[in-house]
A and B are shown apart, each in its own frame.
Chain A
Amino acid sequence: MSFGAAHLLGIETLSPEDIVTLLDLADTHAESNRAGHPPRDVLAGLTQINMFFENSTRTQASFELAGKRLGADVMNMAMARSSVAKGETLIDTALTLNAMRPDLLVVRHHASGAVDLLAQKVQDCAVLNAGDGRHEHPTQALLDALTIRRARGRLHRLSIAICGDIAHSRVARSNLLLLGKMGNRLRLIGPPTLLPPGIADMGCEVFHDMNEGLAGVDVVMMLRLQKERMDGGFIPSEREYFHLYGLDAAKLAHAKPDAIVMHPGPMNRGVEIDGTIADDINRSVIQTQVEMGVAVRMAAMELLAANLRARRVEGDSRVGRAATEVRDA
């Protein structure tokens, strides 16, 4: 096992070996989940706190389920309407948490880099980034990778299109990093107002025409278009967006015949994806993504908890050695 990190803050710092280790373990959890006997002792005795400064029912539920399946004591803190609203800073929140002594901390925050900042300030605790601003959402990229690997049998030398609002998407950034590290060809498709600056320098091809962009791809990843972007500021209207960039059968016909369709959810049917495509069990793996989400989060927490315990044992023995040295002196 090669995974040695203390926290899971982003894909950027993971090596391809780390990614494979995580996915292999997640694969076994996916199987045990299906069989109905997940290993309930893996996180037994550990406390997991989910801190969501930004509301997200789905991701929070997935982390909660993952923790509970492995036997952790899970607690949800709805930060969006708590002390933060009373003006508490992130640093003070971290200090408060240190006093509560959680083992696993799952954090979502609306500011890029905020989870990183929190991770620097908490002690003796593994932090998992559940999405920070427009920066990263590593477990989403991992679950997407696992879904692709299971559907296509490999996670390299695939042609993968990411379509939609890439500018505001942390999911897109983490996926770009992960799929790039694993050696895939990446295509970004969207209107120029929804593509982030400098993206062409990151080794992907950019398309504004969806039919061209989808030509011959193995995987089509759709992104959610936030309601607040549809007001004429970024795109003129929902219907024009669907006409140009909504995934329907005609556009999908340009991809490989066995190309899979993905979406991180929640979907806007009729805006970025046609309902019949989303429901087509031969093409859509959207439900598998949700299932793999739990498995990947179980794997991430298991590996981080193992590293945490190892650090604690080392810390104890260091304390012990110091005591011995003091006694012998």
Chain B
Amino acid sequence: MRDTIIIGATLIDPEDGARSGHLIIRDGHIYDIVTDPVPDPEARFRALEQVDGRGLCLAPGIVDWGVQVGEPGARHKESLRSAGQAAAAGGVTTIVTRPDTDPVIDTPEILEFHARRAQADCVVRVHPMAALTKGRAGREMTEIAFLRDAGAVAFSDGLRVVENTRVYARALTYARSMGALVVAHVQEPSLSSGAVATHGAFATLRGLPSVHPLAERIGLDRDLALAEMTGVRLHIDQITTARALPRLERARAAGLDVTAGVSVHHLTLNEFDVGDWRTFFKLTPPLRSEDDRMAMVQAVADGTIDVICSMHTPQDEESKRLPFEQAASGAVGLETLLPAALRLVHGGHLTLSQLFRALSLNPARRLGLEGGRLQAGAPADLVLFDPDAPFVLDRETLRSKSRNTPFDGARMEGRVRGTWVAGRRVFGGADA
């Protein structure tokens, strides 16, 4: 394969900031970055395959942590092929898949099936998470060592809380001894059971069962205490309420190995977006107040929250075309993660470097993956995008098999022009 050079893009590195330059790809890796002015780069680099990046931004590919794919069990909602195409179109070069499949990814055999299917069909990198407890039932721990050896990068029961604290504490203690990373969903389960909205006047007016935002902090408090007790490496999948943040800061100050994420939906939408029971806005946890949303944006900016993810949750039309309480929860997000997150840049809350720290570098580091940087020697997982290109999202154009996006009809800015995984172009090119 010929070496490729991306000419004249603004290079966004999460650590080094933004600068203009040329990036050379060789053998699946970033070979060199030329930032010194080069007069007439086309002539100088004529031996290389050239991509014109002028006026565009080039950043390390997004690592989307917590993607649900229906393999095994729900390929009609999302296959590894369709998820890969959606990811590539969204500038996502690594998807970290959730174990909440059917059957649950809780044995090395099912994990291997998933990994094999990913290898065969998916154009982006796939790193699966495995369940922490068998069947995600919260009773017995999974074979953490076998699963880790089979490629599980983290252990999680998805959006389910292990309610039995004794079972949970033992699983965490065991995971700690394996050095495994555990991903927790923090909600006090009996408070949040049946709730589809956040406590407040809006939920009351719409007549929806709601949960107090402090249910998140109660769940977080328990998990942080268990992290202290067991010493486990813990990642909280989503923090969505302001009142949980001081606990997270305190735990870090006390030296606990804890990180946290937030979905892009909780950064860009609030409870009022549900409007007249629009089920595409039904998420887990439910959308929060505007004050909470702004607190989450601030927490990403100041580093309290490490990771922005899409919590990509494909649901077919039938499961969403129901009364709000009965409709399935979750939204797709692989293709809208970047343009939605760019709202925070356009709004002046984050720089592009800060954004890609949360989208790429932090998740890669926490999961022990290469990538997340634009520097010589790093894997050539790259996204080339125009941060200002405006468009109106039409959900029918999404590549996901499920099109349950809350951004249908939304005005967005930021289009991906090219995506490379290990130096291979998987999106853009002649057609872009």
Is B174 positioned at the interface, with any CB of A under 8 Å from its CB?
A: no
CA of A112 to CA of B279, assembled, Å: 12
Query: Given A112-B325, A113-B324, A198–B207 Cβ distance below 8 Å?
Result: no
The answer to whether A198 and B325 have CB atoms under 8 Å apart is: no
A197 with B203, Cβ < 8 A, contacts A90-B323, A112-B324, A117-B323 known: yes
A114 at the interface (CB under 8 A from B): yes
Chain A window 154-192, contacts with chain B (Cβ cutoff 8 Å), 1 for yes, 0 for no: 000000000000000010010000000000000000000
A16 on interface, CB distance cutoff 8 Å: no
Interfacial chain B residues near A197, Cβ < 8 Å? 199-201, 203-204, 210, 212
A136 contacts the other chain (Cβ, under 8 Å)?
A: yes
What secondary structure prevails in chain A residues at the interface with B?
mixed
Q: Is A116 an interface residue (CB 8 A)?
A: yes
In the complex, which of the residues B199, B202, B204, B207 contacts A113, with contact meaning CB atoms closer than 8 Å?
B207
Nearest-Cβ distance from residue B192 to partner chain A, whole angstroms: 14
Minimum CB–CB distance for A190 against chain B, Å: 14
Are A111 and B324 neighbours in the complex by a CB distance under 8 Å?
yes
Question: Roughly how many angstroms separate A117 CA and B212 CA in the complex, as a whole number?
Answer: 27
Instruction: Tell whether B208 is near chain A: CB-to-CB under 8 Å.
Output: yes
Contact of B322 with A by CB under 8 A: yes
The 7 tightest CB contacts between A and B, nearest first, are: A135-B207, A113-B277, A112-B207, A198-B201, A111-B323, A134-B207, A197-B199
User: Which residues of chain A come closer than 8 Å to B321, judged between CB atoms?
Assistant: 89, 91
Task: Establish whether residues B204 and A199, one from each chain, have CB atoms under 8 Å apart when the complex forms.
Answer: yes
Q: Tell me if B1 counts as interface (CB < 8 A to partner A).
A: no
- Distance A134 CA – B197 CA, assembled complex (angstroms): 13
Is B430 in the interface zone, CB < 8 Å from A? Answer: no
Number of residue pairs spanning A and B whose beta carbons lie under 8 angstroms apart: 69
Are A201 and B201 in contact (CB-based, < 8 A)?
yes
Given contacts A89-B322, A198-B201, contact A132 B212 (CB under 8 A): no
1/0 per residue, CB under 8 A from A, across B48-68: the answer is: 000000000000000000000
Chain A interfacial residues counted at CB < 8 A: 24
Cα A266 to Cα B186 with chains together (Å) = 42
The answer to whether B346 has its CB under 8 Å from any CB of chain A is no
Is the beta-carbon distance between A114 and B207 smaller than 8 angstroms? no
A263 at the interface (CB under 8 A from B): no
26 examples of A-B residue contacts, CB within 8 angstroms: A12-B205, A89-B318, A89-B322, A111-B323, A112-B325, A113-B206, A113-B207, A113-B208, A113-B277, A117-B277, A134-B209, A135-B206, A135-B207, A170-B207, A196-B204, A197-B203, A197-B204, A198-B199, A198-B200, A198-B202, A198-B203, A198-B204, A199-B201, A199-B204, A201-B200, A202-B201
